[in-house]
Structure 1
Amino acid sequence: MPSTIEMHVVEGQWSSGLCDCFNDPINCVTTCFFPSITMGENAEIISKGETSCIAATTIYFLLCSIGCQGGYGFYYRSKLRKLLGLPKQTCKDNLVHGCCCFCAICQEHRELKVHGADPTIGWKANVENWRSRAVTIPPFFEPQMTR
């Protein structure tokens, strides 16, 4: 299904603003009623399949039930920043997930889509799609070299 998102990627910046949730209305409504599912989908892609959607959804749901979901969302937002080469903003990311968690999850979902991943189909299906289109490297920036 073609994406309704039409944004331009500028290196080092988010492709859309925090409050641009209606740029992807289906995801906006889904996240409004089922934020744990969107968070789970995002987490599976951000972790490159190491964390399953079901596991991340369950963890986020349980943390939401006790009001502690902000730290979990912040963790994945930080990983997404590193993965996509976005500048580090620890304090801002913590506040965003503490105060506007639904908007943050939607923004992260849109960002993954703009960078060529479809969080709704999972990591393995995305890898298969990239292979079928002859994409040799996933459309994410590779992390900096480490020792």
Structure 2
Amino acid sequence: MGAATSRKWSSELCDCGGSLSTFCMTCWLPCVTFGRNAEILDEGQTSCCSHCCVYWLLSTVQFHWIYSCVYRGKLRSKYSLPEEPCCDCCVHFCCEPCALCQEHAELQSRGFDASKGWAGRPMIPPVRISMFK
């Protein structure tokens, strides 16, 4: 197996992220869940609001799944996650809410607070180097 399949997802696709609040948010406002996930994956370069608006506009013509599929690929690549249960585009086309919840849960399991976007990223404590031992 290659490096891209060396790790497992923190939750299954149909677990709905293990959070009722995330599941409800994603069912009624999937653009918000997507925007939060995408802001974190873009490391704050693009805001949640921007992603949310693009996602919503694409959803009016039923192409939002293509946009979110790209970000699933980014998430998988960043954390060496397997492309399962099938390719990213099929996952988003067939089960968009489940895919978004799973991705949200994955980011949370890695220490991100998606409700705060990139500002909610896990903070790495500064390393103190002492010249005197």
Q: TM-score range by the shorter chain?
A: 0.7 to 0.9
Q: 1:98 aligns with which of 93, 99, 109?
A: 93
Task: Report what 1:68 is aligned to.
Answer: 63
1:126, distance to aligned residue in structure 2 (A): 2.2
CA distance in structure 1 between the aligned counterparts of 2:17 and 2:80, rounded to whole angstroms: 25
CA distance in structure 2 between the aligned counterparts of 1:32 and 1:135, rounded to whole angstroms: 39
Q: 2:48 aligns with which of 53, 63, 68?
A: 53
Larger relative contact order (Cα-Cα within 8 Å, sequence gap ≥ 6) = 2
CA distance in structure 2 between the aligned counterparts of 1:63 and 1:122, rounded to whole angstroms: 21
Structure 1 23/65 Cα, relative in aligned 2: closer, same or farther at 3 Å? same
Q: 2:120 aligns with which of 117, 126, 134?
A: 126
- State the percentage of identical aligned residues: 41
CA distance in structure 1 between the aligned counterparts of 2:73 and 2:60, rounded to whole angstroms: 23
Q: 2:77 aligns with which of 82, 87, 92?
A: 82
1:22, distance to aligned residue in structure 2 (A): 6.0
Task: Report what 1:141 is aligned to.
Answer: none
May I ask how many residue pairs the two structures share in their alignment? 121
Task: Report what 2:15 is aligned to.
Answer: 20
1:70, distance to aligned residue in structure 2 (A): 1.2
Q: Rg: which structure is higher? A: 2
1:82, distance to aligned residue in structure 2 (A): 0.8
1:118, distance to aligned residue in structure 2 (A): 0.9
Aligned 8 A contact 1:16 1:111 in 2: yes
TM-score by length of 2: 0.84
The runs of 4+ residues in structure 1 deviating greater than 2 Å are none
Structure 1 22/43 Cα, relative in aligned 2: closer, same or farther at 3 Å? closer
Task: Report what 2:131 is aligned to.
Answer: none
Give secondary structure in 2 for the equivalent of 1:16: coil
5+ residue gaps, structure 2, are: 1-5, 128-133
Cα deviation digits, residues 77-106 of structure 1 (max 9, x gap): 0000011111356x6211011110111000
Structure with the largest fraction of helix: 2
